[in-house]
Every structure is written in structure tokens, then in C-alpha cells.
Amino acid sequence: MPFNIGLSGLNAAQADLQTTGNNVSNSGTTGFKRSRAEFGDVFAQSFGGISQTAIGSGTSLLAVSQQFSQGRTEFTENGLDLAINGEGFFVLSDGGSRVFTRAGEFQVDREGFLVNSQGQQLQGYPPQTPGSAEAEFNTGQLQDLRLQTGDAPPQATTDVEALVNLRSDAEEPPVAPFDLEDPETYNFSTSLTVYDSLGTARDASMYFVKGPNDLEWTVHVGVEGEEYAAFDLEFDGSGQLVDVAPDPAEVTVPTADLGNGAEDLVFELDFGGTTQYGGDYAVNDLNQNGFASGRLTGIDIDQSGAVFARFTNGQSTVLGQVAMANFTNPQGLEQLGNNNWAETFSAGEPVFAAPGTGNLGTIQSGALEASNVDIAQELVNLITAQRNFQANAQTISAADQVTQTIINIR
């Protein structure tokens, strides 16, 4: 019996050494979670035995439990590196089957899918409106996350907002009628860039002409050096705009004048913030909602997992949202190697959701979660396991000496 007790202790110490050694060897593995060996005593008692005098039969390995504490965050220069701050796992597709990981070392494959080094595809939610900048996603549909690498389409100008102050003491131009090429026929002018349906930039100008009435102005609108519309502005005694005629103030440039096959350029002018005060002429704001086509310049991923594509035209498009999963009992997950886990019955059913919702953590782009192994602690554990091994070996040695003494009795 002493030999069996000592042998069980040797086996336990060896398991402890192996567990600690595995932790040490993975101290540099991204997303690795350390394990600990858990032991229980072996106690055999016959029916009707007296527990006060019974002696245990050694120890046994009960489990090697994973410890899912947070690893430190290490920042990288790769925007596709993702770290989870809090609970949860990335969801990967491995040939159609789902696996889970904390290692966020991702890259783009030849088809534009986000994959890890094993080619497993990161899962995410598609945008409700593809090509939109609105971060709204279909969280009921889990699919491979794919990045758009083509050009962003242009958007024709449909609205122009002009906030201008026209001097109240301005006089009628000395020359009439209005001619956009003759500065003597208008008081003030301003210009901006608008875009047609193909994304071609067009120069648009507004020329302000003081009318015979102190509270009336006429604004002439030209595009590419040709006049296309004129509108009358009327102000009240406090300098506020009270009427625009015709209303709505719509400008149309026919496709024939654009010369590139684009659709008619039609945009509406909003003079709602225009005033007639006694100060100098000033263009306080001049905005339009069109833009040219753009080339991809980068990919951004925010804390909620939303993936944005940035383009040279200053626009951004939502490509999808990284999905995450969590389990009732993460320690019940099956380790698959290569930083992956598989769901099991003891782990519970996976719950899929967006990062930062429920009990799921958030995502840090441009960073990786390091192993949660504490080298100093593991080295202490190695020494402890080694001492335990030596002590149990000494138990066997002592038992051998006692046995040999008994055998030598004459």
C-alpha cells in the first residue's frame, strides 16, 4: 500500500509539472489561457469500516481546468489585429463547422475574407443597407465577414445649403442687366463644387444682385460658366429671410450640357440661414451633399465590432460587424489546439451577439490579447511540483527500506 500511495503522488506531481510546463511553453501564445491541475484524495473504506482509523490511499488527478482571466493587451501596428476586453470569443468557420478563439490575429485572403493563419473565416453580421454609412446590422444572420476592396461609388449633389449675410446698405449694381461675366452687374458672388451622377466635379456659382427695394435681392445660379436659374430673396425689417421665389429653389443642368453622359444634375438650394444685416458680406457656411468616387485607403474597426472602409473621397462605408459568442461555462469548452475551442455539452449552448452587448466584452482594434500566463508564478509552481515529486519519491524509498527490513528478519 505505501508503494501505491507514493506512486499516486509521483503521478500527481508529474501531471502538475506537465501542466505548468505547458503554461510556460505558451507564455507567448496569443489568446492562450493557462491551466491548473486539480487533485483529490483517494479514500477507500470497506462497508462498516471506522472512518476515524481509516487511512487514505493517495491522490488522483481530478481535472486540468482552464483559467479564463483577462490577458494583457499588446498594441500592434496592424488594424486587423483584434483584442477582446472582457468576456466572449471570436466565432470562426472551419470548413462549415464553428470554432471559437480569443486570438485575434486576422488578415485578408485573396477573396477579401477575414481569416486567421489557419484560413478559418471570421464570422460577422451583414449591414442592413449594403454600401451605407449607417451602422445598423442584421444580427439574426451570421456569415463570413468580407471586406470590400473596390472603389466607392459617387453621389450626385441633390442639396446645397447657403448661409450668407448680404450687406443691408448695398446699392443696386451700376450696370444692368445681369451678366455673370461682368462684375459690374452683381454685388457679391461665391462658388462651390458640386458633383454629377458620375462623380465629376462641377463649378457652381451664386451671384447676388441688390434689387430696387431695400429688402429684396436676386440670386443667379451658374454651373460651369452658364446660368441655369435665378431666385428672388425677400427679407423683413430685422434682416431675416421671409420668402424665396420660386420655391423650391431648384436648379437643373441637362445631361446634354454636362457632356459626359451623366444624368441631369438637379439640386435644391436652401437659403434658410441667409440674412441681411448691416455687417460686411460674409459666407458663413456653404455645404453640398455630393461626392466623387473614391479608392479604399484603410479599414477601421470600432469597439462595437463595426467594420468601416475609408475612401479617398472622405466617405466611409459599413462592411459588417464582428460577431462574438459566450458560454455559461467556458471552462467546459474542448481545447482543439491552434488557439481554438469547440463547444461541448458541459459548456452550454453558445450565445451569439454584438461586442459590448450583454456580458460580452468590447473589441480593441490594432491590438492582441497576450497569454494570461504569469511566468513568475509558474516558476514557483515548478519548484513546488518538483519538491512534491521528490517527497513522494522519498515515501517510496522509505517504504522500500521498511519492506527490506521485514524481509531480513531471521
pLDDT in tens, 321-376: 999 999 999 999 999 999 999 999 999 999 999 999 989 999 999 999 999 999 99
Same domain, 186 and 283: yes
Confidence tier at 181 by pLDDT (50, 70, 90): very high
Domain boundary among 230, 258, 288: 288
* 64, β-bridge pairs: 37
- What is the rounded distance in angstroms from the CA atom of residue 251 to the CA atom of residue 238? 28
- What is the rounded distance in angstroms from the CA atom of residue 44 to the CA atom of residue 124? 53
Measured at the CA of 184, the angle between CA 178 and CA 188, to 5 degrees, comes to 80
Integer angstrom CA distances of residue 147 from 107, 143, 144, 321: 11, 12, 10, 11
Q: Output DSSP code: residue 183.
A: G
| Contact between residue 171 and residue 278 where contact means Cβ atoms under 8 Å apart | no
Same domain, 50 and 17: yes
pLDDT in tens, 54-86: 677 778 888 888 899 999 999 998 989 999 999
Position 299 pLDDT exceeds 90? no
* Cis check: omega of the bond before 248, within 30 degrees of 0: yes
C-alpha cell at 280: 460686411
| Contact between residue 345 and residue 109 where contact means Cβ atoms under 8 Å apart | no
Range of the domain at 93: 73-152+296-369
pLDDT in tens, 153-179: 899 999 999 999 999 999 999 999 999
Length of the chain: 410
**DSSP assignment string, 52-75:** TT-----EEEEEEEE--PPPPEEE
Give me the phi and psi of 25, to 5 degrees please. -65, -20
Same domain, 247 and 196: yes
Average pLDDT estimate for 384-404? 75
Position 384 pLDDT exceeds 60? yes
Same domain, 125 and 231: no
Domain boundary among 288, 304, 329: 288
Same domain, 284 and 167: yes
Pairing relationship of beta strands 121-125 and 316-322 according to DSSP bridges: antiparallel
Count of domains for the chain: 3
Same domain, 189 and 274: yes
Domain boundary among 239, 260, 288: 288
Average pLDDT estimate for 273-295? 93
CATH code of 196's domain: 2.60.98.20
Position 47 pLDDT exceeds 60? no
Same domain, 148 and 214: no
pLDDT, position 201: 96
Q: Output DSSP code: residue 239.
A: S
Same domain, 166 and 216: yes
Same domain, 126 and 77: yes
Name the region of 125 (left: φ>0; alpha: ψ -120 to 50; beta: rest).
beta
Integer angstrom CA distances of residue 169 from 188, 232, 273, 278: 13, 18, 19, 7
pLDDT, position 187: 96
Any idea which of 2-16, 133-147, 269-283 has the lowest mean pLDDT? Answer: 2-16
The CA-to-CA distance between both ends of the chain, in Å, stands at 24
Same domain, 237 and 319: no
Amino acid at residue number 175: V
Same domain, 60 and 90: no
Same domain, 165 and 284: yes
Calculate the average pLDDT of the chain.
89
Position 188 pLDDT exceeds 70? yes
